[in-house]
Chain A
Amino acid sequence: MTHQYLKNVATLAFIAEKCTGCGKCVEVCPHGVFEINEKKAQIITKDLCMECGACAINCPAKAIEVNAGAGCAAAIIWGWLTGKEPSCDCC
């Protein structure tokens, strides 16, 4: 069963001009958000993006940007309480 979270929230951005079509984003994405079509990557299911950041950090051409982080309520509350970036350090 495929899980679907909130739509139109992911901060994933792809700059097609920079893409070299190496396919590393397809290799690392745990939700199959990317596909390679005609030697270029393409976002096919943006709403499945969980903003883990694997694609951006592994893109040698720096063609992908995303505000990566942990999708965790406790982490976000921890961030609010401490005034720091949300992080998993609370648990």
Chain B
Amino acid sequence: MSQNSCCCTSSACCGTPAIQTVSTQLTLKDKLGGWKVRWGLARMDYTMEPGIYAAGEPNETSPVLVSANYKLTFDTLRKHLTGLHCWLLILDTKGVNVWCAAGKGTFGTDELVHRIQETGLADVVAHKKLILPQLGAPGVSAHEVTKRTGFSVTYGPVRADDIQAFISSGYKATKQMRTVRFTMWDRLVLTPMELVIAAKTSLMLFGVLFLINLFAARPFGLFDFVVYAAAVLTGAFVTPVLLPYIPGKAFALKGWLLGMIGTGLIAWAYGWFAPPSLLLGIGYMLSLPPCSAYLAMNFTGASTYTSPSGVLKEMKIALPLIVLSLVAGIILLLIKTFVG
């Protein structure tokens, strides 16, 4: 953008962009906001204005770090920048984190090129070097960006907590910095979202059960709720947290195995494997572990290592089995409910 073109629609007006300085300390409000979106509350509105920001007191030789406009992402990055002087170029990813946005293409070559031009980055820094988060790479073609803007793209570490080490080592990432992990903590923070989705679906089911109860010889009650809730927790919480320790590779199989154990134990404790309640025991053993399996399978979307080809293969085998078992179980449960 020429220095004289005074369009005044953006912060890049008149060649002297008003660049906001950001703190590297998170406030209580930032932390609460992060906690809220982990539970799926107004998650898609947790955004910030794209553009250039300053951390510390950067000058024209300071590094430029590129990131996404999901506020949780931005907060995670800036809290690791204490003591550094750098520029932050925030792309418009519609409030989605870097990796997912790269998969969707919003953290992509076009948006990066556009943002470089719109912000007048070339007038802010004297060098031609961008540091992108490595997980942005599925959406960005480094050589294409260089061809279109003159800026070179270096991929930094996967995790923001390695950024200081990366910069101080002369922009070299170790293999460990380059490798994505999926620790128990990483998995744990993702489970609230799974639970919220499962709870929403469950509410619809409870509505149907309420109607059925009006005509039932054996209405659904607290015990039924407990065995169901356990199956949901198994699929959406226990399986994700214990993931690598559960036998098998397919997520559905892992969820089904734990679902069988959990449902089996509870049904046994309730005496549902003995004659008057046998239909109930078998009905739940057939219907609930598939629910755990399905919820566990959905966690592939949150995982950091499943390939689409693998998930497709898993689903082609697991889904028909899930549906068959579920339908058979529901039929037995309905017989028990209406016949008594």
Residue positions of A touching B, CB distance < 8 A:
1-7, 9-11, 24, 26-32, 48-54, 57-58, 60, 67-77, 86-89, 91
Interface SS, A side: loop
B138 touches A53 (CB 8 A): yes
B304 within 8 A of A: yes
B307 touches A49 (CB 8 A): yes
* Cβ contacts B129-143/A at 8 Å (1 or 0 each): 000001101111111
A32 touches B137 (CB 8 A): no
Give the A-B pair count, Cβ closer than 8 A.
134
Other A-B pairs beyond A27-B178, A73-B297, 10, CB < 8 Å: A3-B243, A5-B307, A6-B250, A6-B307, A58-B143, A67-B308, A71-B305, A76-B315, A88-B103, A91-B301
- Contacts A11-B309, A68-B138: A30 and B304 contacting too (C-beta < 8 A)? yes
A74 touches B305 (CB 8 A): no
A1 cross-chain contacts in B, Cβ below 8 A:
244
A75 touches B301 (CB 8 A): yes
Q: How far is the CA of A24 from the CA of B315 in the complex (A)?
A: 33
Write the chain B residue with the least CB distance to A68: B138
The number of chain B residues with a CB under 8 A from chain A is: 43
Write the chain B residue with the least CB distance to A11: B309
A27 touches B301 (CB 8 A): no
Q: How far is the CA of A86 from the CA of B182 in the complex (A)?
A: 23
**Beta-carbon contacts under 8 Å, B230-252 to A:** 243-244, 249-251
Name 14 interchain pairs, CB-CB below 8 A, sorted by A.
Answer: A3-B244, A3-B303, A9-B310, A10-B309, A30-B304, A51-B307, A52-B138, A53-B138, A70-B100, A71-B306, A72-B306, A73-B314, A75-B301, A88-B104
A6 touches B314 (CB 8 A): yes
Write the chain A residue with the least CB distance to B312: A76
A49 cross-chain contacts in B, Cβ below 8 A:
307
- Contacts A3-B182, A11-B309: A73 and B137 contacting too (C-beta < 8 A)? no
B301 touches A70 (CB 8 A): yes
